[in-house]
Structures are given as C-alpha cells and as structure tokens.
A and B are shown apart, each in its own frame.
Chain A
Amino acid sequence: MVRRDVPRHDASEKIAGVARFAGDLALPGMLHARLVRAQLPSARIVRRDATRAREIPGVVAILFGEDVPNNTVWVDVPGQMVEVSALKASMEVLATGRVRFLGEPIALVVAETEDVLAEACAAVEVELEELPGVFDPDEALADDAPTVHEDGNLLAEWNIDRGDVERGFAEADVVVEGEYRTQYVDHAYLEPEAGVAWLDDQGVLTIRVATQVIEHYRDVARILAMPESKVRVIAPYVGGGFGGKEDMTVEPYVALAAARTGRPVRMQWTRNESLLARAKRHPMRMRYRTAARADGTILAQDIDITSDAGAYAYLSALVLLYSAVHACGPYDVPNVRVRSRSVYTNNVPTSAMRGFGAMQVVFAYESQMDRLARRLGMSPVAIRKRNALARGDVLPVGQTLETDVLLPQTLDAIVDRAGEKPSPSGPRRAVGRGFASNLQSYGRLVWLNDSAAAWVGFHLDGSVTVRCGVPDIGGGQSASLAQIAAEVLGVGLPRVTVHFGDSALTPLAGTTTATRQLLMSGNAVYEACTTLRDRILAAVAEETGQPSESLRMVDEAIVGPETRVPVLDALVICRRRNVPTEALETFFGPRGRPVVRDLRAERVFPDFTFGSHLADVEVDLDTGQVKVLRYIACHDVGRAINPGSVAGQISGGTVQGIGMALLEELVVRDGVNLTGGLFQYLIPTAADVPDIETVILESGEGMGPFGARGIGEPPIGPPAAAIANAIADAVGGRPTTLPITPERVLACIGLGVQEGRGSDG
C-alpha cells in the first residue's frame, strides 16, 4: 500500500462537496464576531468608546483589551511540545495603549448577525494619535530611528563563522558579488481565516478552526485564564495553510466571545483582512560575495542578510535562523561568514511561510552559482556538481550530513528529461534555460524536543482506526497515515479510518509545519502499527506454535510458511489471551542543544531534502514579458508513500514559487498595505503556468517511515532562481529583485533603470 498512487480518502469527501470547512459550520443560536482594527501603522490609543455601538440592536458584546483575562499572547514558538526556553516576544490580544501596525486589533464586536457587525464596528469610536513610524529595516537600525518596541528595533541576529574567509578570497581566481531582494508574499490560500467556538456540555471551550496547530489550545487557555484541560481545538480539513495558519488567527477572539456570551460564535476574516493583517513572508535583502578557484571550486562565501520582521516578532527570529543555516545552499563551502539580522518596523508582521527563510536565500545563492559559471565559462550543471554536498560533509553551521545526498542525480535527471533548449517563437524573442538546486530541512529545530503520538486499534470486524492529532491542511497528511497503517497491518486501505486534528480526542502529534508531519506523525503511526502487529504476531505464534519471526501480516491475515490465520481469528486469539488489539506510541525527533547568536551546532535540524529544477523561458524583448515554456522539478523524496500525492506537492510548491518569481507582491508603502484584494495580489492562474514535470528520486535514505524525506516545503525554493537564471541566459542581464516584472526584465536588457547592484564579472 506504500509507494502506490492511490486516490486520497480526503479528496473524495472534498470532491463530493460534503467536506465541512471551519467557516461552513453553523450552530443553533450562533453569534458572529469581527475585529475593529487600527487604521494607522504607528499610533498611541487616545480613546476607545463603544457606548454608541452598544446601543445598536443586535449587538451582544464589545470587548477591549481590559476585558481579556490575560491580554498577552506569546508569539515566539507556536505549538511547542514542552517549554524550551523563556518566551520573550509578545503582543496584546487587543491593543490598549500602542498601535504598531495598520490592522492591529483593538476591539472585538459580537452581534446576532453579520449585517449588524458591519454597522457596529463602524460605530466603535477609536481615537488615535499618530506617532513617528519606521518602515525600512535599514533605517530602523539607525540610532535616531523611532523605536517600535522598548528594547530597540533589533529583534534577532545570527552569525556563522567557519574557516578563514579573508584567506579564501585572497586565494580566489574569481570573485562574484550580488545584492538580491525578495518581496512581501502572502500565503493566499483559498480559505480565509475562520473558526467557530462554543462551550460544550462539560464547560469545555471548544474551537473548531482552520489551523495548522491544534496545540494553540494552550495559548487560548492562558489568555482566558482557564486550565488547559478546559480548552479544546479541533482542526477540520483546512483550506490551505502554507504557514499562514501556524500562528493563531481567529482563535483567541472566538474563544473570548464564546466565553463572554455563553453562545456559539463564528468569526470569518474577509480576504481584505487576511491580506491586511495576517503575517506575511519576510522581505529580505541579501548581499553575497563568492570566491572560487578557476576550476569552479568555491573557496568562500561572505553573506549579509537583513529581514523585515514587521511590528511583532512572531517567528521572525527562527525564520532568519533558517536563512543563515541554509545560506550556502547544497554546496560544500570551506570558509563562510554569515551576518544576519531581523529588524522591527511598523510594517505588517512577518512570520512562517512555506520554505521558512530557507527559500529566499535560494534566489541569492543560485544566482551566485550562475554568475560564477558564466565568469568561468563553465556550464551551470558542471559548477553545481563540482561543489555538491555529499554524505559525511559538514554544513557551515557544524551539522554533519548523515544521509545520502543525490544532488548530482537530480541534476542528471532534469537534464536527461529536458533535451534541447527550445527555439524562440519569433523575432524579438529570446529563449533561456535556467537551473537551480536547493536543500531544505525537514522536521523542527532539534532543541524544540519535538514529538508526535498516535493510537492504532483493530475493531471486531477487522477494520482499523488511527487516532493522530495531525492537522490535515490538504497535503495528504492523514491519507499518508492511512497508507502506512494499511501497509504495516496488511489491511485494505478502505478498511482504515484516520481521526485527526482534535486536541481532546486524538493524541497530540504537533504542528503541521516545518515539513515535519510525515517524519513525526508518520513515524508515530508506523511505530504504533508495528507495536500492534508484533503483539498480534506473538499471540498467533504462541497459539500455533510457529516462531513469530516467521509470521507476517498481509492481505488481512497472519501468514507463515505453514500457517494462514485470518485477521479476525487472530483478533479472537488476542482477546482470549488478554493481548491488547490497540497500541499508543510516541515518536521523539532527534534532540540537540539550543543555539546562541554565534551559531555552532552538531545538529540543528533532523535532516534535509535536496532537489534541482530546470526552467525554459521565452522573453519578449519589446515588452519584457516572460513566458515559462517548460518546467521540470526533481527531488529525492527518500520514499514516495503516495507518488501521485508527492508529485502534487512538487507541482503545487513549484507554482507558488513561480508566482513569487514573476507575479506576486504585497505592496506596503509607509506601513500602509496597498494590496487589498485578490484582484491586486496576483497568484498564478491555470493560464499563467505550464505543466510542472516532476521527477521523483527515491534514495530510501530519509528519516521518515520507509526511508521517506519531507517534501512539503522543498519545491518552493528553486523556482525564482531557476527563472532568473533562465532570463539571464536569454538576455544577458540578470534580475536581482523579485518579482521579476516586465519592467525589471526590460531593465536587464538596458531598456530601463537597473535596480540593485552586482557583477557577473
């Protein structure tokens, strides 16, 4: 059942139109809630008055920060399984004194109908006194810059020092340098943030919400000053996450409203709210100097990265840590200096998004690789192979690669598949081919002491239930678990049911983030199933006198050289012998010690996934329009539990990456988000992209079940670099700022203003 391209069970419910998402639930007596948000990016709150709003018929409650039992939400590490260190970054649930970004929540309005909400929100009087703001991270570091937080605007710094960088540059035959900029990117999942909260019969505050982290029940409990056992979070099928539903969104607000009114309450953010106020992908400015020998061997990297954290920390420090650790890419670099910093501004906050800091740097390091190749007259493939990491190599941070690295094979695979570069479709058109490779960690930072638990049991009729607290956000999270259980227990896939995403009723399995669920929940289910299988085999062995090592569970039976016991009979044998027909196991991820500012660690992540992409593009030399003619993506996924689902992850992640490369940008000017709707925030349509051709390599070397590696995040890394490299191949000039708009392409061919700086030698 593993390595088979079977339809996912969740897909059939979604296709039949019966899957009920968070916002689809309506309960009798349900109220509706909405937030009043700050209309200035930096301000002091002078006055809040809900007197007039409370008089509107249908208004049930209006809450300010003073009405919140603990008006502080800690935002450093969502869903951590144990306390790992002192949390230090916080924000108010509802702002009381200071507003730090446009869109910050100030009041919570609860009403009988959605129509009343609009009127009531408009009637809540909020008087703001504008304060000086700072909207650029470099300016925010100046001594006289307005401070966003009392402790100063520098949120976090990470440094890496390895070898002797100056000597590396002194010994180099060539040096290339470049400055690269990435933009604000929105997750733009189709399902805006939504949830319903109610008090159940035992007084448990229950929240059914679109989330990647059911462990937020703890945060809600702290905010409401309730025991953690009295708060429950249920994650139904989520309409896309991509990191945007990792931090809390509606949870504290629907919880407060339900607790205050005693009635069910629903909150659904509009698309405008989602674009305005939910944390984005970090814009980054990356300066790279790369030194190499004439044969292409990289001698040194000197890297400087600044990210805009926006007004509140959220996961910015950790996102930047990912950038620093991944900054040299999938290459062996003996001498490395990384200086990186994340800086508070009065812009919209930034936090997790697919790729999590490890993907912005791909644009920089892969552009540098092509600059080197061109300078040395080498092929892009040859220079990548020459420097590719291999098993046993040590990353600049100090972590040794313990599993095989198939980077050269991924390059060979896409080259073989691609054949000749296509010809231009007409005059004034130029065609280029670009490559980009990457590495991306899977699994959480090792000092978060990650774990996942799962319960597996047989029913009397031989069907199987899996309980695992994984939020299923559409990537096949629960379907993979069903396939693993079916494989280990030898039952048909339709006989397996997975209950997922319920903090009260399913064993906690941690966050659906960091490409960790197959590694963590997959291993937890695998271990629970093998424990259960071994119990049953031992019981059958005793009953039949066969050695248990000779027995297997396959095709709904326990099979040995001289035995075949149907599973139903085996279950009866177990019951007679007091052998449980269920098992609960907890899988613990690799451990490591926390890092300090100057990074040096034997292990930071469990493991990494490697891949290479190829893009053929055609550039219209008159308009600057770029068309992606062909796109091939190859990753070593270890083992493809479901090859069709794996291809879907690669295809989907790649198209998100193409969107970031060519189309998407949230425009923020002086803290004001000018991109208020999907008619302005342009994600790719079906007509904008070609078929993504996927090549799946299976080394069997991953740390997940059956040797699988994680594949959720890795495919989003290479596209921007592959496309930039293809454009440079086509027109000579190189785009260094994302998105690569037609104006920026024209600048590359000398028909406009060149941004940034850099040298191809």
Chain B
Amino acid sequence: MTDLAAVTMTVNGRRITRTTGGHLTLLRWLRDAAGVTDPKYGCGEGVCGACTVLLDGEPVSSCLVLAPRADGAEIVTASGLVTGGDTLGPLQRAFLEHHAAQCGFCTPGMLVCAASMLADGGPLSRDEIREGLHGNLCRCTGYGPIVDAIEAAQGSRGPA
C-alpha cells in the first residue's frame, strides 16, 4: 500500500505525472490524482461502463486497469472528445439533439464507447450499435435515444 509509483500519462493531450500508491486503478488515478472526473465510478467491477476511457485508442474499463500499467499511455476521456474549445463535435451534437443524455452519469462512458465504434468504421445497423453498447449500462433512456444519436452521427460521418 505504501509502494509509491510515479506514473505519467497524456490525458486529453495534457501530459500529467502523479506519484501515488502503485495499487491505484486508472479510474482512481484519473479522478483522485489527476482531477479528471468525467470518467465515473459506477460499479468497480467492469460491468457498467461508466468509467470507459480510450487507452492508446482502445476502449477500456478504467476501474479494471492498474494505473502503473498505463504508464506512458495516451488517455482520452469524454471531455477530450470535445475539440475546438467548448463546441460539441458531431457525435456530441447528435447526443444532444436525440435526448441521449438524461441523468448524464453514463454519458461520458457511452460517448467514449460510441466514438470508438464509429472510429472502427461502419456503417453499423441499429442492432450492431446495440450490440456494441452492451457493456455500457444506462438506467434512464431505455437506450433508444442513444442508438438514434449514434445512427445519426454515423450518417453525418466524421467521427467525433
């Protein structure tokens, strides 16, 4: 518990070094050490997807990755998907227009998952989008609005 580790990551384009206990998960490192709070704790067991971030381009449940394992990695969280100041990208705009966020707690993980799906190419059918989202739980929307948003975003192309 006292074995300290200096870990450096590039988070949303910003290089951050923090020395913390080596047992910290990537989620706790981001939230508690680096102050990046848009990835959320929802279950701590890799089921809900609220902590999803891109680790070197791959979506991972950050609650299941130890921070030292991500040393040197490039991390993108939902807030890092917003480029050009505070203007929303096509994916975020589609989420907004289709009421894909209600309480918004699953939204950062959902957006990262969706961005990753779109980046992998497509076009995806509604069933494929639903299959792709199965690791990200939402308790508010019933999912239809989120599927609508992702479908619309891939229609307008240019992933987030």
Q: How many residues of A contact B (CB 8 A)?
A: 60
How many residue pairs link A and B with beta carbons under 8 A? The number is 178
| Docked pose: A651 CA to B130 CA in angstroms | 15
B159 within 8 A of A: no
Stretch in contact with the other chain, from A189-197, A342-350, A587-595: A189-197
Known: A15-B96, A16-B88, A691-B147. A239 touches B141 (CB 8 A): no
A271 within 8 A of B: yes
Q: For residue B47, which residues in chain A have a CB less than 8 angstroms away from its CB? A: 677-679
When the two chains form the complex, which single residue of A11, A678, A679 contacts B104, counting CB atoms closer than 8 Å?
A: A11
Contact B40 A654, beta carbon cutoff 8 Å: no
Contact A115 B146, beta carbon cutoff 8 Å: no
A711-745 toward B: CB 8 Å interface, digit per residue (1/0)?
A: 00000000000000000000000000000000000
Q: For residue B142, which residues in chain A have a CB less than 8 angstroms away from its CB? A: 648, 651-656, 689, 692
Stretch in contact with the other chain, from A281-289, A356-364, A473-481: A473-481
Contact B41 A240, beta carbon cutoff 8 Å: no
| Docked pose: A684 CA to B134 CA in angstroms | 9
Q: Which residue of A lies closest to B102 (CB)?
A: A474
List which B134-157 residues lie within 8 A (CB) of chain A.
134-147
Known: A271-B42, A652-B142, A692-B142. A686 touches B103 (CB 8 A): no
A101 within 8 A of B: no
Stretch in contact with the other chain, from A19-27, A448-456, A518-526, A601-609: A19-27
| Docked pose: A689 CA to B95 CA in angstroms | 20
Contact B40 A655, beta carbon cutoff 8 Å: no
Q: For residue B100, which residues in chain A have a CB less than 8 angstroms away from its CB? A: 11, 15
A14 within 8 A of B: yes
A377 within 8 A of B: no
B69 within 8 A of A: no
Contact A691 B126, beta carbon cutoff 8 Å: yes
Contact B103 A191, beta carbon cutoff 8 Å: yes
B118-136 toward A: CB 8 Å interface, digit per residue (1/0)?
A: 0000000010011101111
Q: For residue A187, which residues in chain B have a CB less than 8 angstroms away from its CB? A: 139
Contact B99 A678, beta carbon cutoff 8 Å: no
Contact A683 B137, beta carbon cutoff 8 Å: yes
Q: For residue B95, which residues in chain A have a CB less than 8 angstroms away from its CB? A: 11, 15
Known: A686-B130, A691-B126. A21 touches B40 (CB 8 A): yes
A51 within 8 A of B: no
| Docked pose: A10 CA to B140 CA in angstroms | 14
When the two chains form the complex, which single residue of B48, B108, B137 contacts A17, counting CB atoms closer than 8 Å?
A: B108
Known: A271-B43, A678-B45. A15 touches B145 (CB 8 A): no
Chain B nearest CB: distance from A285 CB in Å? 27
A497 within 8 A of B: no
Q: For residue B99, which residues in chain A have a CB less than 8 angstroms away from its CB? A: 7-8, 11, 644-645, 647-648
Q: Which residue of A lies closest to B50 (CB)?
A: A190
Chain A nearest CB: distance from B22 CB in Å? 11
Contact B133 A687, beta carbon cutoff 8 Å: yes
| Docked pose: A189 CA to B86 CA in angstroms | 28
B37 within 8 A of A: yes
Contact A240 B101, beta carbon cutoff 8 Å: no
Q: For residue B77, which residues in chain A have a CB less than 8 angstroms away from its CB? A: 17
B8 within 8 A of A: no
Looking at A21, A23, A191, the one whose CB has the most chain B CB atoms below 10 A away is A191
Contact A240 B45, beta carbon cutoff 8 Å: no
| Docked pose: A14 CA to B140 CA in angstroms | 14
Contact B96 A11, beta carbon cutoff 8 Å: yes
A247-288 toward B: CB 8 Å interface, digit per residue (1/0)?
A: 000000000000000000000101100000000000000000
Contact B137 A190, beta carbon cutoff 8 Å: yes
Q: How many residues of B contact A (CB 8 A)?
A: 59
A320 within 8 A of B: no
Q: For residue A242, which residues in chain B have a CB less than 8 angstroms away from its CB? A: 139
Known: A15-B88, A21-B40, A686-B146. A648 touches B50 (CB 8 A): no
Q: For residue B126, which residues in chain A have a CB less than 8 angstroms away from its CB? A: 691
Contact B92 A15, beta carbon cutoff 8 Å: yes
Known: A190-B40, A655-B143. A16 touches B45 (CB 8 A): no
Contact B102 A475, beta carbon cutoff 8 Å: yes
A626 within 8 A of B: no
Known: A17-B108, A678-B137. A238 touches B32 (CB 8 A): no
List which B24-66 residues lie within 8 A (CB) of chain A.
28, 31-32, 35, 37-38, 40-45, 47-48, 50
Contact B40 A11, beta carbon cutoff 8 Å: no
Known: A239-B103, A648-B102. A683 touches B139 (CB 8 A): yes
Contact A239 B104, beta carbon cutoff 8 Å: yes
Known: A240-B139, A652-B142, A683-B137. A17 touches B105 (CB 8 A): no
List which A1-56 residues lie within 8 A (CB) of chain B.
7-8, 10-21, 23-24, 26
A188 within 8 A of B: yes
When the two chains form the complex, which single residue of A16, A23, A476, A679 contacts B102, counting CB atoms closer than 8 Å?
A: A476
| Docked pose: A157 CA to B129 CA in angstroms | 49
B67 within 8 A of A: no
Contact B101 A14, beta carbon cutoff 8 Å: yes
When the two chains form the complex, which single residue of B38, B134, B139 contacts A190, counting CB atoms closer than 8 Å?
A: B139
Q: For residue A17, which residues in chain B have a CB less than 8 angstroms away from its CB? A: 38, 77-79, 81-82, 107-108, 111
Contact A15 B104, beta carbon cutoff 8 Å: yes
Contact A12 B96, beta carbon cutoff 8 Å: yes
Chain A nearest CB: distance from B93 CB in Å? 9
Contact B138 A16, beta carbon cutoff 8 Å: no
When the two chains form the complex, which single residue of B45, B88, B143 contacts A12, counting CB atoms closer than 8 Å?
A: B88
Q: For residue B139, which residues in chain A have a CB less than 8 angstroms away from its CB? A: 187-190, 240, 242, 652, 656, 683
Looking at B28, B82, B130, the one whose CB has the most chain A CB atoms below 10 A away is B130
Contact A24 B147, beta carbon cutoff 8 Å: no
8 closest A-B pairs by CB: A474-B103, A14-B104, A239-B105, A17-B79, A651-B142, A655-B142, A17-B38, A686-B133
Q: Name 7 A/B residue pairs within 8 A (Cβ), A-sorted.
A: A7-B96, A7-B97, A15-B107, A24-B31, A191-B103, A648-B140, A686-B129
Give 20 A-B pairs besides A14-B103, A655-B142 with Cβ atoms closer than 8 angstroms: A8-B99, A11-B95, A11-B101, A15-B88, A17-B108, A23-B41, A119-B1, A190-B137, A191-B40, A191-B42, A240-B103, A240-B139, A240-B140, A271-B42, A677-B43, A678-B47, A679-B47, A689-B142, A691-B126, A691-B147
